[in-house]
């Protein structure tokens, strides 16, 4: 049941009206209903894994209480470690076990040692990377005293399984539980903004991402027969597809949260306008980068502090390897993490790593030439990383990269580029970039609260709606990040 499907619309309409009408007066009843709806949503997608979600939730709920009631610091620390091991263990078993077995078997084979290891038939639960990160952060934050452990099991279970975020994030920190504790009033402005954010997310997903997907899938499946310039174009398109797909999902999740009276963590802050790699990772998948910064980078950086810049480089490389491996158990993602980790090295050595890059504009509202160059440079570096992500193996990534370097004729890629089916993708990528540039100080591209005239807001919204109706790809296209 993806957000852009009829079953989800029907599901959400029922949830919305039951939540705000019969249950309006009781926060507890609203929470119970949200939990039931979230489990239904998860069960609809993958009912076999619902017991796993419930059991892990129960275990971590008791661990949180155990940490807060522990009589000694050592006992609390032990329970926290147990929680982290359990969370990582679930992730390792379901996501990485087969990967490690295969990798070590291949390693031993290459060394001439024959192993009789076989992989297991393990089904990866949907959203496992997202809900285990929420569980782990809960025990750590309770131990660090950053949040009070909740005694209300419904609140805790709703935080873990909250249906807008369970399958593909954003990964909210445990502070989100306080929102479940507070009484929620229907806020008209917030709800309207939520609807617009959902609409903008739908536009990005159906009009931009799914139109780009046709071209990208075509080129990547026949990459050995394509010219270098066509391969380059396909990666550029892939970067827009990935962004529009994932940020579109995040916008829809945040918008749904707003309709239910919640503030969900922001996940993207216009990453195409990043001025360097550190700036890019502050803008891309922000909930994940904040998570790994808090629970991986900061402790490592503290531990390696005696080694100065070398320690910081080591911490950031490990941090980015975790980010890479978090996505998928594949060597391509290890390479992706390593690549991005190494891109931080010049920033750390020059001292620009901690500085927040500020985008400057000229009198026409466009970026100044120097910043525009930095944006293009960052985009080019990011593109190379996307080749690794989109490839099925490191070998394919290398072949693709080599193919791209043999630039070939522009005519063939031009022919590819001006295909009749491709013009909506070309046009709406530009539209998306222009809108997001103009709205870069706002939370999302369709935030129109400051526009005073109702008819202008109405007109803009209608244009977006009709663009979706006329140019959206309606079908069974799922979201890229569901696989993680």
Partner 1 sequence: MRKFIINILAYLFPIGSVISGINCLVDPSLVYSGSKYEKEMVEMLLASKKNVTNVELNYKERVFKSLLCENYSDSVDIVVLGSSRVMCISEKYFQ
Q: Enumerate binding residues for partner 1 (CB under 8 A).
A: 20, 186, 188, 191-192, 195, 458, 461-462, 465-466, 469
User: One of 118, 181, 285, 327 is an active-site residue; which one?
Assistant: 327
Q: How far apart are CA 189 and CA 194, in angstroms?
A: 8
Give CA separation, 383 vs 231, 234, 238, 284, 303, in Å: 11, 10, 9, 14, 33
Structure tokens belonging to residue 30: 């609203």
In this structure, what are the phi and psi dihedrals at residue 361, rounded to the nearest 5 degrees? -120, 155
16 or 44: whose CB is closer to partner 1? Answer: 16
In this structure, what are the phi and psi dihedrals at residue 85, rounded to the nearest 5 degrees? -65, -40
Q: How far is the CB of 466 from partner 1 (least distance, A)?
A: 8
195 or 345: whose CB is closer to partner 1? Answer: 195
SS3 361: strand
- 327 noted as active-site residue: yes
Q: Which residue has 């807008």 as its token pair?
A: 164
Q: How far is the CB of 186 from partner 1 (least distance, A)?
A: 5
50 or 195: whose CB is closer to partner 1? Answer: 195
459: nearest Cα among 470, 476, 469, 446: 446
Q: How far apart are CA 218 and CA 211, in angstroms?
A: 12
Q: How far is the CB of 247 from partner 1 (least distance, A)?
A: 23
65: nearest Cα among 142, 124, 157: 142
239: nearest Cα among 387, 392, 434, 378: 387
Q: How far is the CB of 434 from partner 1 (least distance, A)?
A: 23
Helix or strand (DSSP H, E) at 286: helix 286-292
233 or 468: whose CB is closer to partner 1? Answer: 468
321 or 464: whose CB is closer to partner 1? Answer: 464
In the DSSP assignment, the letter for residue 367 is B
Q: How far is the CB of 195 from partner 1 (least distance, A)?
A: 7
Query: Which residues are the active-site residues?
Result: 327
């Amino acid at each position: 049941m993806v957000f852009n499907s009829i079953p989800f619309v029907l599901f959400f309409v029922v949830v919305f009206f039951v939540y705000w009408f019969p249950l309006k007066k009781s926060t507890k009843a609203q929470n119970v209903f949200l939990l039931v709806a979230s489990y239904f949503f998860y069960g609809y997608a993958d009912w076999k894994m619902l017991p796993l979600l419930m059991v892990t939730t129960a275990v971590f709920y008791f661990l949180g209480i155990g940490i807060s009631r522990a009589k000694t610091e050592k006992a609390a620390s032990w329970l926290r470690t147990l929680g982290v091991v359990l969370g990582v263990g679930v992730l390792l078993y379901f996501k990485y076990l087969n990967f490690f077995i295969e990798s070590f078997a291949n390693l031993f084979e290459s060394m001439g040692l024959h192993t009789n290891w076989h992989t297991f038939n393990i089904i990866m639960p949907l959203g496992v990377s997202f809900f285990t990160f929420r569980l782990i952060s809960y025990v750590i934050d309770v131990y660090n005293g950053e949040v009070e452990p909740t005694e209300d099991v419904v609140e805790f279970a709703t935080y873990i399984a909250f249906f807008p975020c369970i399958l593909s994030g954003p990964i909210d920190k445990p502070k989100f539980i306080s929102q479940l504790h507070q009484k929620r009033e229907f806020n008209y402005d917030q709800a309207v903004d939520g609807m617009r954010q959902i609409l903008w997310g739908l536009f990005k997903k159906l009009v931009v991402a799914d139109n780009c997907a046709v071209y990208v899938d075509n080129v990547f499946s026949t990459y050995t027969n394509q010219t270098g310039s066509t391969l380059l174009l396909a990666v550029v398109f892939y970067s827009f597809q990935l962004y529009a797909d994932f940020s579109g999902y995040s916008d829809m999740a945040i918008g749904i949260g707003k309709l239910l009276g919640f503030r969900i963590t922001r996940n993207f802050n216009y990453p195409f306008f990043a001025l360097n790699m550190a700036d890019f990772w502050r803008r891309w998948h922000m909930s994940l980068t904040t998570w790994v910064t808090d629970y991986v980078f900061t402790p490592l950086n503290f531990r390696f502090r005696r080694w100065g810049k070398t320690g910081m480089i080591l911490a950031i490389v490990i941090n980015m390897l975790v980010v890479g491996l978090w996505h998928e158990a594949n060597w391509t993602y290890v390479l992706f993490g390593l690549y991005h980790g190494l891109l931080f090295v010049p920033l750390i050595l020059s001292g620009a790593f901690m500085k927040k890059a500020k985008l400057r504009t000229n009198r026409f509202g466009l970026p100044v030439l120097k910043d525009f160059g930095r944006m293009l440079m960052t985009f080019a570096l990011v593109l190379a990383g996307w080749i690794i992500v989109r490839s099925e193996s490191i070998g394919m990534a290398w072949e693709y990269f080599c193919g791209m370097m043999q630039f070939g004729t522009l005519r063939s890629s031009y022919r590819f580029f001006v295909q009749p089916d491709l013009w909506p993708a070309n046009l709406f990528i530009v539209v998306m970039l222009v809108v997001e540039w103009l709205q870069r100080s706002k939370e999302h591209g369709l935030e129109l609260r400051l526009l005073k005239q109702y008819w202008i807001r109405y007109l803009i919204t209608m244009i977006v709606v009709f663009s979706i109706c006329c140019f959206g790809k309606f079908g069974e296209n799922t979201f890229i990040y569901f696989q993680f």
